[in-house]
Chains A and B, each alone.
Chain A
Amino acid sequence: MMGHHFGVPFHEELQKRIIRTALSRITEAEKSGDIYLFPMTWAEARLEGKEIEKKLGIAP
């Protein structure tokens, strides 16, 4: 989602996984211009993020 290209707030594992996936394309892409679809929807990311915020006690 615009403004959230590395995931949702406080979801450190997801943020890191997005970076690692992007970096993996350096070795796995077969040609320039490849587009890789990250296997997670925004809705799924938001749900996980909400759970994390609840556990951290910082849910808005």
Chain B
Amino acid sequence: MAISKGKELRPGLWETVNERYPGSMITKTDFVPLVKLSKPLGEARLAFISTAGIQPKGTLPFDTVHPVGDYTFRRVPSDSKPAELEIHQLKYPTFGANRDLNVIFPIERLQELTNERVIGSLTKNFYSFIGYNMDPERLERTLAEDIADAVEAENADLALLAPA
């Protein structure tokens, strides 16, 4: 089991992407300081945040074809069933998620882990947006801040973030 600390899995990848799509990738050379959980996981409230473009059926679809991306997010009630949700995202293969949404948005597994008391509780909502956003500064300044505010308002103790 290999553990690499503070290194990119594919060194140079971001530079390559930046050459092809100038300014489209955020380059981070520093990291947010690690904060330890203030209570046991079995007592903590978890928020799940995903770039998978998951949203409740009937809500306004993400704009998946806008040239610079969609900087909005959707609340996904954490007690939802997969059949109540749908995917609006074109930038990743969905052949697995279309059969079992949990491969990209593991809502049932998180519900089960909460029932098993591995996780204390879930926030009322999970959060989803689409990962195709070509203006990283705008993403950081608006979308990331908006989601952070929403998660904080739900009194989350920790957040699990997953790309798609």
Contact = CB atoms under 8 A, between A and B. Distances in A.
Interface of A: 1-10, 12, 15-16, 18-20, 22-23, 26-27, 29-37, 39
B6 A9 contact: no
Interface in B1-43: 1-9, 31-34, 36-37, 41
User: What's the dominant secondary structure at chain A's contact region?
Assistant: loop
A35 to B, nearest CB: 5
Interface of B: 1-9, 31-34, 36-37, 41, 92-97, 99-100, 102-104, 106, 108-110, 112-113, 118-119, 158, 160, 162-164
A33 B3 CA distance: 11
Q: Which among A22, A27, A33 has the highest number of chain B CB atoms within 10 Å? A: A33
Contacts of A31: 5-6, 31, 34
Contacts of B2: 37
B160 A3 contact: no
B18 to A, nearest CB: 20
Contacts of B9: 35
17 contacts: A3-B95, A3-B103, A4-B103, A5-B163, A6-B106, A8-B103, A9-B96, A9-B102, A9-B103, A10-B100, A12-B109, A12-B112, A23-B118, A26-B41, A27-B37, A29-B34, A35-B9
Contacts of A3: 92-97, 103-104, 164
Contacts of A6: 102-104, 106, 109, 162
Contact of B36 (A7, A10, A23, A27): A27
A5 B109 CA distance: 13
Contacts of B160: 19, 22-23
Nearest to A45: B103
B16 to A, nearest CB: 17
Contacts of A26: 36-37, 41, 158
